[in-house]
Amino acid sequence: MDLLTLLQVLDATVRLSTPLLLACLAGLFSERAGIFDIGLEGKMLAAAFTAAAVAAITGNVWIGLVAGIAASLLFSAIHGLASITFRGNQLISGVALNFLASGLTVLVAQAWFAQGGRTPSLQGAARFNPITLPFAESLSGVPILGPIYAELISGHTILVYVSFLVVPLTWWILFRTRFGLRLRAVGENPAAVDTAGISVVGLRFAAVGICGVLCGIAGAYLSTGLQAGFVKDMTAGRGYIALAALIFAKWRPWYALTACLLFGFLQAIALRSDLIEAVIGFRIQIQLLDALPYILTVIILAGFVGKAIPPRAGGEPYVKER
């Protein structure tokens, strides 16, 4: 395998990791605050559809992005209302929202565009296009570093760069700011936060809100960056994979990056079965390759990858004890 082929696989890894990473960090904010969110999938799907639909109509992808984030935030608000305000079961609320998103997106798409539950194909300014970083062309002649810069680092959409910048930002917010300290505390022991005179409900809604924004960007990226339009169930379980990555990452931002790159890599090599055959010498069924990320998800969720301790108050509505 030559350098260029390797770079192509890694390039695909980066593109495919992006939505996972955004969703994973979204889940990180929510779960660190003690709200389990199995509805990452539904939020991404709602955002993917809304972003593509609005971008198709307005012809402006930025308006699409904002609309996608708004749709995701609406779902977050419902989840927050159910699980924070009314102290409902967080898993049930999340699952319900996933079903709602799965059905509603196709229904509205069909009613709106009459293209079999899709949105029209997006072109030009209606989708996020790759950005060529400065000097990518001129430096591509430099051995090794040149192609890495030109092929791997340059040539992604703006959202890819944003998602990778969110990693250090998340770390900084969680571990270096007052908000982060309180957010982590409310996921571990909400009573400690309450008796310190801080609103548990307010903090948790803030966390769920951030989760909504990040899921919104992830969903918009799927339909306007990675693909050119919305198709039915296009998230394809990415929300669940992001949750598995979150557990794998032990709820830490930098580990989340590693975990999501691993999943992205598995998705990327599944696209290049010819390469695998060339490397290992025999053919693997493409279906098996496609299933790899999901198999890894099951393995991680079954607890085979070390002991991951979730935030202690996770999944529990906060009720002042009598």
Q: Which residues make Cβ contacts (< 8 Å) with residue 222, sequence separation at least 6?
A: 19, 44, 48, 234, 235, 238
| Residue 176 touching another protein (CB under 8 A) | yes
SS3 state of residue 156: strand
| Residue 256 touching another protein (CB under 8 A) | no
SS3 state of residue 131: strand
The window from 87-95, 108-116, 179-187, 207-215 that contacts another protein (CB under 8 A) reads: 179-187
Question: Contact letters (x/-) for another protein, 127-166, by CB under 8 A?
Answer: ----------------------------------------
| Residue 189 touching another protein (CB under 8 A) | yes
Phi, psi (deg, nearest 5) at residue 278: -65, -35
| Residue 197 touching another protein (CB under 8 A) | yes
Give the separation between CA 264 and CA 13, rounded to whole angstroms: 5
- How many CB atoms are located within 10 Å of the residue 151 CB? 18
The window from 81-89, 188-196, 211-219, 244-252 that contacts another protein (CB under 8 A) reads: 188-196
| Residue 184 touching another protein (CB under 8 A) | yes
Residue nearer to another protein on the CB measure, 82 or 183? 183
Give the separation between CA 297 and CA 299, rounded to whole angstroms: 5
Three-state secondary structure string covering 186-219? HHHCHHHHHHCCCCHHHHHHHHHHHHHHHHHHHH
| Residue 252 touching another protein (CB under 8 A) | no
- Asked if 43 contacts 279 with a C-beta cutoff of 8 angstroms, the reply is no
| Residue 320 touching another protein (CB under 8 A) | yes
- Asked if 33 contacts 187 with a C-beta cutoff of 8 angstroms, the reply is yes
Candidates 198, 291, 305, 308; binder of another protein (CB under 8 A) is 198
Q: How far is the CB of 191 from another protein (least distance, A)?
A: 5
Nearest to 20 by CA among 186, 200, 258, 204: 258
| Residue 177 touching another protein (CB under 8 A) | yes
| Residue 307 touching another protein (CB under 8 A) | no
Residue nearer to another protein on the CB measure, 58 or 189? 189
Candidates 15, 79, 156, 182; binder of another protein (CB under 8 A) is 182
Size of the site for another protein (CB under 8 A): 23
Binding region for another protein (CB under 8 A)? 175-182, 184-185, 188-189, 191-198, 312, 320, 322
